[in-house]
Amino acid sequence: MVRYERYNAGIVKLGLTQIGPGKSLLASERVLILQEDSMAGDGFPDVIWIPAHSDRHKVKSSRQIDAVVLHVTDGKAVDAQQTARNVFAQPKQLGAHGKWQVQSAHYIVGRDGTVVQCVRHKDIAFHANEENSYTIGIEHNARDPGDTTLTDVQYWKSAKLVIWIGKQLGLPVFDRWYLQGHSEIDQTTTHSQCPQRALSWRTYMQAMADVQAMSEGRRPSMRLWDI
């Protein structure tokens, strides 16, 4: 578990030990995450930063993160940047049933493997109702509300992202307690098939295993990934 705290000029990633006011951090304990005047993501390689509208997330100086939550979109955009700009970057909208639509996620993974970040890790994205406060949300573009597949490159890039997040935040993401689907962790959601409508957990965990194996110089599985 990791907390993000403001320290001097920036955001500092802390371990389980809390640092009180006026106390110093050893150089080996201090990791500068973001200068306050910077507008960028949290550092995932090749990520595109398209910030969510202020209606769609809550800025925090610190929070505890305990899980990563996977989603699939209900819209028809296959492009992560299009979803970010046309939905998450827009002000809240009044829906057909008289409820404000304020959804967002920390990341979106497009069908071509593009990864877009819209909300910083230290801030709360509105993606899983009561579970928002302690989770990271990752959306995956589906082609339409009836789509039942993700692309190989989506699985691969999403797996790389989740493993990277796990290392950044100290989360054992290969344990499914710390990596859950929207409908698993959020018992109040009306999206009862999110993400399993399109995301195969067996395929996803295989992608994670293969990404990890390759990063460690080991032989991955025999599955041929179209990436």
61 backbone φψ class: left, alpha, beta (φ>0; ψ -120 to 50): alpha
Q: What is the DSSP letter of 163?
A: H
Question: Residue range 166-178: average pLDDT?
Answer: 97
Cβ neighbour number for residue 59 with a 10 Å cutoff: 10
142 backbone φψ class: left, alpha, beta (φ>0; ψ -120 to 50): beta
Q: Give the Cα separation of 66 and 62 in Å (integer).
A: 13
Domain layout of the chain by residue ranges: 1-38, 40-215
The strand pairing partners of 107, in sequence order, are 117, 138
For the entire predicted model, the pTM comes to 0.82
CATH 3.40.50.720 fits 40-215, yes or no: no
Question: Residue range 131-143: average pLDDT?
Answer: 97
Name the residue with higher pLDDT: 99 or 128. Answer: 128
Question: Residue range 103-114: average pLDDT?
Answer: 97
C-alpha closest to that of 150 among 226, 41, 64: 226
Vertex 157 angle, CA 5 and 43, to 5°: 30
CB 136 within 8 A of CB 42: no
Pick the range with the lowest mean pLDDT from 68-72, 185-189, 209-213: 185-189
Give the pLDDT band of residue 170 (cuts 50, 70, 90): very high
- Say whether 31 sits in a helix, a strand or coil: coil
pLDDT at 223: 92
For the cut 80, the answer to whether the pLDDT of residue 32 exceeds it is no
Residues 221, 222, 223, 227, CA torsion sign:
positive
